[in-house]
Amino acid sequence: MTASNGRRRPYGGRSTLIAIISTAVFVVAVALVVGGSPSWPLVQQDFFDPDTFWRFLPVIARAFVLNIALFLVVEVLVLILGLLVAIVRNLPGPVFFPLRMVAVLFTDIFRGVPSLLIIYLLGFGIPGLQLPGVPSEPFLWAAVSLTLVYTAYVSEVYRAGIESIHPSQAAAARSLGLTRLQALRFVVVPQAVRRVIPPLLNDFIGLQKDTVLVSYIGLVEAFRTANIEQQAHFNYTPYLALSVIFLVITLPLTRLTDYLVARDRRRFLAGAR
């Protein structure tokens, strides 16, 4: 340990230096290539205009509240429904065959069709039926669409997690006299959920970004707001502002996911058997 540390420290210092130099060279090269292009001033004005950026950032941020509300609602529903679908797919025995089929069909359909199409079909289709008593608010159908699509994704994540728990765990639980459902609830699912938190957060990042799709059924959320401002001012900088807002939301989640993956790798290596 001491010997390797003694050797590693000067090497570490040198590699830091190399990293700094190569990054500097890289940044300068990119700046020269991009900034040196003949149309750069025009692009800068259309996409990176500081005045437009600061003027519309608060406007878009206010509209972004709708996106936040949407993904918070959907995330809660998806967490519960996804687990339910995964459990149904894992029900044993011939009695549950029809239920299992429904679950398989559900995941196949909603994983296989683009989210935007689902949003269109439900967002325009169901209010279009004008059924008495069926609400037609676009927010509702936007939430339903995203819930269906992401429940399908997340149920597969849960299912992979449940199947990754070694059968000996369920056997140990059953040997105590626990029923199949109790073994699932107290032993298998708690371990599975812990194991799938990183891929789950990954799907949540996808969901948060997909909230812009609901603008297509008439919801004036952040993307539509940026879009309106872009068309009114012939300037694309509002999109840049929205991108920055998204990064502020998704970057911490991305980092958290990476951290959890690294932590779990350590823990499961220690406790693995």
State the nearest-atom distance from the C-beta of 90 to other proteins, in Å: 18
**Of residues 122, 173, 207, 222, which one binds other proteins by CB under 8 A?**
173
Neighbouring CB atoms inside 10 A of 91's CB total 15
Distance, in Å, from the CA atom of 104 to the CA atom of 88, rounded to the nearest integer, reads: 9
Decide: 230 and 239 in contact? Cβ < 8 Å. Answer: yes
Is the Cβ–Cβ distance between 134 and 62 less than 8 Å?
no
Q: How many chain residues bind other proteins (CB under 8 A)?
A: 21
* Binding status of residue 86 toward other proteins by CB under 8 A: no
Smallest distance, Å, CB 167 to other proteins?
10
Q: How many residues does the chain have?
A: 273
Binding other proteins (rule: CB under 8 A), the pick from 174, 201, 233, 253 is 174
| Closer residue to other proteins, CB minimum distance, 232 or 272 | 272
Binding to other proteins (CB under 8 A) within 129-158 occurs at: none
Q: Which residue has the tokens 């699912």?
A: 189
| 182 contributes a contact to other proteins by CB under 8 A | yes
Task: Tell the smallest beta-carbon distance from residue 261 to other proteins (Å).
Answer: 18
Distance of CA 246 to the CA centre of its chain: 12
Residue with tokens 């269109």: 120
Query: x/- binding map, residues 208-247, to other proteins, per CB under 8 A?
Result: ----------------------------------------
Closest to other proteins by CB, 114 or 190: 190
265 in contact with other proteins (CB under 8 A): no
Binding to other proteins by residue 169, rule CB under 8 A? yes
Tokens of 48: 């990176």
- 273 lies in the binding site for other proteins (CB under 8 A): yes
Among residues 226, 223, 244, the alpha carbon closest in space to that of 235 is found at 226
> At its nearest, how many Å lie between other proteins and the CB of residue 88?
22
Q: Which of 18, 171, 244, 248 binds other proteins (CB under 8 A)?
A: 171
- Taking CB under 8 A as the rule, does residue 176 contact other proteins? yes
- Rounded to a whole number of angstroms, the minimum distance from the CB of residue 174 to other proteins is 7
What's the CA gap between 73 and 99, in Å, rounded?
A: 26
Assess 164 for contact with other proteins (CB under 8 A): no
Cα separation, 269 vs 273, in Å, equals: 9
Residue 256 host element (H or E): helix 237-271
| Cα–Cα distance for residue pair 191/198, rounded to 1 Å | 13
Residue 253, exposed/middle/buried by CB under 10 A (0-12, 13-18, 19+)? middle
Residue numbers at the binding site for other proteins (CB under 8 A): 168-169, 171-179, 182, 186-187, 190-191, 194, 267, 270-271, 273
